[in-house]
Amino acid sequence: MERGGLRLTGAVRTAIDGARWADSLEEAVVFLDAMAAAKLITIDDLRAGLTEHRCRTGVGQAAEAVDHAEYGVRSPWETRLRACYRLEAGLPGPWINVPIFSTTQDFLGIADLFDPYAGLVSEFDGDGHRDRRQHHVDNVREERFESVNLTVVRTDSLDLNIITNPDRRPLVRRLRDGYRRGCARDPNRDEWTVVVPDWWRGRIPGAEV
């Protein structure tokens, strides 16, 4: 397309090019998640667009990335955690940014990744979580999750940055162990729910703790 005398690629073509040129499948998914979060493309649009570029170099990686792309992701690091969770740890695809409540309808927190079968919350702590006040909030939220029989695994860039830490095996073991512990819990002690109470509906996205 042309805008203001400049030749540009449209959103779908840009997304597919970014995915096929990415250094890895994980980074290809990061790119597509970001495009979807910005509401620049839909995953259905990408699937349709792939047919027009099936002979281009790297389109196989782009097609696989489309299969792993998701809506509602809030940061590239959440995508990297999800990629490790699914592609390296081999765990079932988790729910993304899920509000969790107690059975008495108290808000407990937003889980970055959540597996309702295992009762497993997987969190990524970015740079902002180093702030003392935010760290306090994180600790309180983790205690709330654990008090209702959820298992929590927390990660940060030291776990996921493949440049500074190319060995993710310790993280993979932690994720698998968290999943194992969650599956072994007594579900009769669960005091949490993902059923959204009426008072929560209509809240402003991003205003949650």
The pTM of the full predicted model, rounded to 2 decimals, is: 0.88
Dist CA 191 CA 144 (whole Å):
11
Dist CA 178 CA 168 (whole Å):
15
- The DSSP bridge partners found for residue 120 are 115, 151
Tell me, what's the pLDDT at 128?
59
Tell me, what's the pLDDT at 129?
54
- The DSSP bridge partners found for residue 102 are 192
Distance in angstroms between the alpha carbons of the first and the last residue of the chain:
42
Q: ∠ CA 116-199-93 to the nearest 5 degrees? A: 20
Per-position DSSP letters for 49-86, written without gaps between them: HHGGGTTSTTHHHHHHHHHH--S----HHHHHHHHIII
- The DSSP bridge partners found for residue 193 are 101
> For every one of its 209 residues, what pLDDT tens digit does the chain have, with 9 covering 90 and above?
788 888 888 999 999 999 999 999 999 999 999 999 999 999 999 999 998 877 788 899 999 999 999 999 999 999 999 999 999 999 999 999 999 999 999 999 999 999 999 999 999 987 655 667 877 888 899 999 999 999 999 999 999 998 888 999 999 999 999 999 999 999 999 999 999 999 998 775 554 54
Q: What's the token pair of residue 129?
A: 């979580």
CB 29 within 8 A of CB 83: yes
Length of the chain measured in residues: 209
Dist CA 193 CA 177 (whole Å):
23
